[in-house]
Amino acid sequence: MGEKKPQTEAFKITKNHRRLLLGSVFLMATSAIGPAFLTQTAVFTAQFAASFAFAILLSILIDIGAQINIWRVLVVTGERGQEIANDVFKGLGTFISILIGIGGLAFNIGNIAGAGLGLNAIFGLDVKWGAAITAVLAILIFVSKSGQKIMDVVTMFLGVLMIVIVAFVMFKASPPYGEALTHMVLPEQPFALVLPIITLVGGTVGGYITFAGAHRILDSGIKGQDFLPFVNKAAITGILTTGVLRALLFLAVLGVVVTGVTLSSENPPASVFEHVLGPIGKNIFGVVLFAAAMSSVIGSAYTSATFIKTMHKSLFNKNNLIVITFIVISTIIFLSVGRPVTLLIIAGALNGLILPITLGTILIASKRRSIVGDYRHPTWMLVFGIVAVVITIFAGVFSLQGLFDLFK
């Protein structure tokens, strides 16, 4: 009898639960869809054409393996990623929090810059003014009394907006759907796609991103085994949402490059929009770029704060103050330094290193009764997670190579 009651409660999904489900899904998805995501997808599509579909499919499967392992263990224990890491090995969680804090800050500078460029493309505003306006808008969301609800609504709106616009561009581009479908399972040079697959995995669930939605769920007080069906749905939907936008953008770019058009090296995705939609394409791409960057600013600041706040008791109840400070510092650095290429390369290296450490730690925790209690982590998920760890170790090696190249 003792087990039946929680099971009944688990399936009583309220309206707030549904909003939280969508909020956590879009927070994770839009955190992954930043300015780098847009450029990355365009560049790889131009390079590998229809065969890039295989890389997208494989990366989505690996992403699900990483995401579902982490979200389940976090919600079962009711602890954040760094807290579980400290349970596994004392001090590891603090180390991870520092890595994510530094990496998140550096990426946020790039997100602020991207939002500034988006407003420049839409309205012709100076990029620095656009960056400052973005920072103010993001801060207003967090200082509001209903900050978390507004964050959920804003990330959902921006996510849907991006999907609708990119879908429209894709249909206008008339890509070869059959060719893309064939190469999704039969790529021309599968081994040449190893680097793109690793890059996509690192960009979709690397660093702080994989914890964005799970930490959002925990902050709402949802925890325990009763909510595992809810968590499975949220984790997989988050990855699929990111995958849908990636696939739509891939097809839009494919529809352009198969006609022989060479994309602009300065701004590959923008040139796709201009080719398909004409001069107004630049403005419309600006909307997508602003939406991608703004949502990433929110996701990066929020999730980084959930790591930083556990580093000291005095910080735990000051989440909004940490978020605001995080955004202000990111903006000041961008306004004073400009485009932070060096910081982004360093952040990319940290991003590649963080996921194998965090995911590996979560997998160890999933088998420790002292951490997860009577919860039994499915073996197939564990195997799925181990595969993701191995692949992301390779991502870390490539990321480090980029870091070494910086100092040559």
Tell me phi and psi for residue 145, to 5 degrees.
Answer: -60, -30
Size of the chain, expressed as the number of residues it contains: 408
**Residue 339 DSSP code:** S
Grade residue 23 by pLDDT with cuts at 50, 70 and 90: confident
Cβ atoms of 208 and 307 within 8 Å: the answer is: yes
- Two tokens, residue 360: 């590996």
pLDDT for position 8: 39
Tens digits of per-residue pLDDT, 321-356? 899 999 999 999 989 876 655 555 566 666 667 788
One-letter amino acid of 90 = K
Q: What is the mean pLDDT of residues 176-196?
A: 89
pLDDT at residue 237 tops 80: yes
Kindly report the pTM of this predicted structure: 0.86
pLDDT for position 134: 95
pLDDT for position 342: 58
Q: What is the rounded distance in angstroms from the CA atom of residue 390 to the CA atom of residue 370?
A: 26
Cα–Cα distance list, 277 to 64, 118, 122, 270 (Å)? 34, 17, 14, 11
DSSP 186-204: S-SSGGGGHHHHHHHHHHH
pLDDT for position 138: 93
C-beta atoms surrounding 9 within 10 Å = 11
Cβ atoms of 34 and 110 within 8 Å: the answer is: yes
pLDDT at residue 5 tops 70: no
89 burial type by CB count under 10 A (0-12 exposed, 13-18 middle, 19+ buried): exposed
Please choose, from the candidates 64, 15, 19, the residue with its C-alpha nearest in 3D space to the C-alpha of residue 216.
19
Tens digits of per-residue pLDDT, 378-408? 999 999 899 888 887 876 777 666 556 655 5
Q: What is the rounded distance in angstroms from the CA atom of residue 70 to the CA atom of residue 210?
A: 8
Q: What is the mean pLDDT of residues 15-42?
A: 81
242 burial type by CB count under 10 A (0-12 exposed, 13-18 middle, 19+ buried): buried
Tens digits of per-residue pLDDT, 239-294? 899 999 999 999 999 999 999 888 888 788 899 999 999 999 999 999 999 999 99
DSSP 126-149: -HHHHHHHHHHHHHHHHHSTTHHH
50: three-class secondary structure by DSSP: helix
Look-up: residue for tokens 């400052």? Answer: 132
Q: How far is CA 388 from the centre of its chain?
A: 16
Tens digits of per-residue pLDDT, 39-91? 888 989 999 999 999 999 988 888 888 889 999 999 999 999 999 999 999 99
Q: Which residues contact 326 (CB under 8 A, 6 or more apart)?
A: 104, 105, 108, 300, 301, 304, 305, 308
Q: What is the rounded distance in angstroms from the CA atom of residue 243 to the CA atom of residue 5?
A: 37
pLDDT at residue 33 tops 90: no
